Structure 1
């Protein structure tokens, strides 16, 4: 593992229907820890599996210096599976047990190799990771999602792999688990590729590689470096596009004037020829020359116009596909001090005893971020506030103009399009104006008329927010449960832009600290060992 590398050599990948997803990619990955980013649907997970050897290139090739350990987004916790299985160490541990019992099978010795101390190393790694309550035989179904991911990662780090490839490893992890994962990755000395939209994790990378429809592009720094470089590129691309459009307009105006001058000369020549009583054959030849000259001019005009339009198209391709988000501010009647939610001595179901009781008042323009470990009752609290479930005791009073968006966006009908659902939510505004609202948040005419079940995660979230914010009356209280899960970076930025412009009360559950920091929170509500704690930001 002295010089680990993965290399793509003109690699392409076609989907089963023949569509080319990845085309002629050439890139080399070395010991630098690399974050792989890109829009959802562009093929990041397919590329990860291609690099890991789980998929074969349709053309070109992928070269590896040694074994690659690939960790997919979902870590399976099947019934009867153990910690050893999650860590992918069970075959070697089983072989060690058979050898201890007297086996002389060469296959067992091949499985063990030089890892005779693997049981001790696994237990030590579990203890170092704060998972000392687990052992190799612990059933996987007893583990939380965060614990399962961390065990799988421990197995990766105990493997003999040259490279680790992790696909969205922080999805559904709480803040402590995310920090533990970052700490584990810092210890890895081999090659590392992380597919992620987690900006805190990407900040720890040595470089960022972006996958787009134009291919792979490497940025030699962490996420902050990438974001700054990408912003500078976009500013430059916008200037190039503006210049190309201006040049096209200027040239078209010049060509139009040139054509008009020629037409005037032709008309004048025809009038003078008739006035001079020229022979018909001479007038005919003059007309033919004039038409030929006009044809050549028109050909030059068409060629020049096509050349400049191609320059405009090329300049436009350099800009990101996502467009600026402009939220038409709903007219909210809730004053800053008006109570939109009050919880009086409420007892929450399904939560640890120390977090069961809560008193809470939320006013018209408070922006609260709810944080805490998984299983502490954050989502349950949102459901009680929204009226989705009843408390065990106590009283809940809420503003009727309350919108709750869970992780599955259950408020959307997947079989109906966004514009139809928005019209149903607001009969007081003209449909054309509602279509404009959707376009301004990135849902153009085509996407606004597609069944929402066919939209991407980011597009579905925009549609759900639009149905809440542009309803009649608009939501004066917005409850969001992990809205950033499964969103790519561009969609996250669009969501942040929308929520930053929202003027009502906002309550958000999230483990993404960067996301929470960008929402201009007024308060943090933290679930901890001492119960619920509300603090001003």
Structure 2
């Protein structure tokens, strides 16, 4: 249980990647008791910051202090599948000693191993029950558990240690809906210091404050994600008004400067003609000329200073406006008429899972739900032709494309534009570049090699390659597309799919994302497909 003194603090934190690219420079941060949602676009250093707090990484300068024991749930930790559950939970030695004492071996070593933890098995079972793992035997091997159960098992191991500070990095990735609900409940019940990095909107509605990591600094807001976004929208609207006002001021100052130049030039011309007409002595004419030049110089400097100040105000105003661009593309060739047959699955038996029958017509938007291990990925792989079914028939009637979780459809040695041309060999290069600009790859970015892209950029490039393929896909299948995407990238994906006019088949546990897509049919996979209500 945390106390008021439990906290995390970072002071003057400096950290750079091995190639010297700076990530943090003088970062100050203080986190007290409560649930904190750490958000930010991909590449800002959220996971790196958690690793620094957990002590897995050392900063180049500055300090990281934690007042209390730290528990850290990594994003991608692979467990030894041969390990028994009690060893992963860290109770195997205590449990073995307890069983030895119960069997009559009252050695000093056994009593020392048990200590005061005589109820270790009862506590463990209560924690596993809380996380929906009550059916998991302590002697069971990790390899017998699903991916979601493994994530919850790692969380259970942390909770049994009773840390005062809990760090969670994308904990809901690969969790099915039931497992997510269990994790949400555990987070809601947490009373210590909790910092969670996540793109899961439902999870971020259960935090007490939001920390937005951007440009090497942190901005704080007391409240949930939706409250933060509402406040940010108001702020961004005001910032955009400031940009418009500052831009108008710059244009006005430019006009004033031009007018001042014209007036001064006219006065100088008039002065010369007057001197010639009046026949003023050269010394008097020279003095008047110097005076006029000095006055003109001061006038010009004044207007130039006003223009520079206006430009500076515009620059500051533009810095306050966030550049979280949206993907909006016009893809008329993906359109499917309302009653046109798109896909038929007849008595299909994939290599994993039960038999499936399905008819898809028109521009339906279908969500494919199901627990982890039910066979959703196998079904999509089978429909896409990546694996052969054991029995039955897959009959697509329109061009289809499939974006798997692995994002392995691109050649990493080629550029973005070259990858798109592989799927659209007849398209003009300039047309491809124009379309890639709408996927936020502008100027020289289409020529960047795929192997150098960040996770969010790789996803956008993969999505662009599929949606710009020829023939245009009239059925698009996505497998857990929001996994490992930041909130801005999820918004970009949603807006891109809004303009897609074909049929969608999406396997996902991300309920807010599915609701935003305008799903028309909800299917649940469990030893066959059944229609269900929206979750």
Aligned to 2:333, the other structure's residue is in SS state coil
What is the CA distance between 1:479 and its match in structure 2?
0.8
Question: What does 1:459-470 correspond to in 2, within 5 Å?
Answer: 459-470=457-468
What is the CA distance between 1:191 and its match in structure 2?
1.6
Residue 531 of structure 2 corresponds to which residue in structure 1?
534
CA distance in 1, matches of 2:34, 2:155: 18
Residue 223 of structure 1 corresponds to which residue in structure 2?
225
Residue 483 of structure 1 corresponds to which residue in structure 2?
481
Residue 75 of structure 1 corresponds to which residue in structure 2?
77
Residue 173 of structure 1 corresponds to which residue in structure 2?
175
Question: What does 1:65-144 correspond to in 2, within 5 Å?
Answer: 65-90=67-92, 104=108, 109=112, 114-144=116-146
Would the alpha carbon gap of residues 50 and 237 (structure 1) be closer, same or farther in structure 2, given more than 3 Å must change? same
Q: Paired residue for 1:517, among 515, 518, 521?
A: 515
Question: What does 1:433-452 correspond to in 2, within 5 Å?
Answer: 433-452=431-450
Q: Paired residue for 1:198, among 186, 197, 200?
A: 200
Q: TM-score of the superposition, structure 1-length normalised?
A: 0.90
What is the CA distance between 1:280 and its match in structure 2?
5.6
Aligned to 1:33, the other structure's residue is in SS state strand
Q: Tell me which moved more, 232-241 or 84-93.
A: 84-93
Q: Tell me which moved more, 205-214 or 497-506.
A: 205-214
CA distance in 1, matches of 2:41, 2:101: 49
What is the CA distance between 1:499 and its match in structure 2?
0.7
CA distance in 2, matches of 1:395, 1:498: 31
Once the two structures are superposed, what CA deviation does each residue of 1:436-461 show, in whole Å capped at 9, x if it has no partner? 32222322223222112322222222
Residue 495 of structure 2 corresponds to which residue in structure 1?
497
Q: Tell me which moved more, 144-153 or 502-511.
A: 144-153
Aligned to 1:322, the other structure's residue is in SS state coil
CA distance in 2, matches of 1:393, 1:204: 45
Aligned to 1:389, the other structure's residue is in SS state coil
Equivalent residues of 2:23, 2:216 under 8 A apart: no
1:309 lines up with 2:307 in the alignment? no
CA distance in 1, matches of 2:26, 2:281: 65
Residue 7 of structure 2 corresponds to which residue in structure 1?
6
Equivalent residues of 1:349, 1:391 under 8 A apart: yes
Once the two structures are superposed, what CA deviation does each residue of 1:468-498 show, in whole Å capped at 9, x if it has no partner? 2233331111111111111000000110111
CA distance in 1, matches of 2:166, 2:533: 41
Residue 361 of structure 1 corresponds to which residue in structure 2?
359
Would the alpha carbon gap of residues 297 and 434 (structure 1) be closer, same or farther in structure 2, given more than 3 Å must change? farther
Equivalent residues of 2:335, 2:501 under 8 A apart: no
What is the CA distance between 1:425 and its match in structure 2?
3.9
What is the CA distance between 1:102 and its match in structure 2?
5.5
What is the CA distance between 1:271 and its match in structure 2?
3.4
Which runs of at least 4 in structure 1 moved beyond 6 Å after TM superposition?
94-100
Q: Paired residue for 1:266, among 265, 268, 274?
A: 268
Aligned to 2:174, the other structure's residue is in SS state coil
Would the alpha carbon gap of residues 332 and 272 (structure 1) be closer, same or farther in structure 2, given more than 3 Å must change? same
Would the alpha carbon gap of residues 525 and 489 (structure 1) be closer, same or farther in structure 2, given more than 3 Å must change? same
Would the alpha carbon gap of residues 249 and 533 (structure 1) be closer, same or farther in structure 2, given more than 3 Å must change? same
Equivalent residues of 1:341, 1:385 under 8 A apart: no
CA distance in 2, matches of 1:315, 1:458: 27
Once the two structures are superposed, what CA deviation does each residue of 1:315-354 show, in whole Å capped at 9, x if it has no partner? 2222222113321233335311111211122221122xxx
Q: Paired residue for 1:472, among 470, 483, 493?
A: 470
What is the CA distance between 1:504 and its match in structure 2?
0.6
CA distance in 2, matches of 1:321, 1:472: 31
What is the CA distance between 1:166 and its match in structure 2?
0.6
Number of residue pairs the alignment of both structures matches: 530
Residue 352 of structure 2 corresponds to which residue in structure 1?
350
What is the CA distance between 1:47 and its match in structure 2?
1.3
Gaps of at least 5 residues in structure 1 are none
What is the CA distance between 1:286 and its match in structure 2?
5.3
CA distance in 1, matches of 2:181, 2:389: 33
Would the alpha carbon gap of residues 47 and 113 (structure 1) be closer, same or farther in structure 2, given more than 3 Å must change? farther
Residue 506 of structure 2 corresponds to which residue in structure 1?
508
Residue 416 of structure 2 corresponds to which residue in structure 1?
418
Equivalent residues of 1:199, 1:514 under 8 A apart: yes
Q: TM-score of the superposition, structure 2-length normalised?
A: 0.91
Would the alpha carbon gap of residues 270 and 425 (structure 1) be closer, same or farther in structure 2, given more than 3 Å must change? farther
Equivalent residues of 1:44, 1:211 under 8 A apart: yes
Q: Paired residue for 1:396, among 374, 394, 397?
A: 394
Gaps of at least 5 residues in structure 2 are none
Residue 33 of structure 2 corresponds to which residue in structure 1?
31
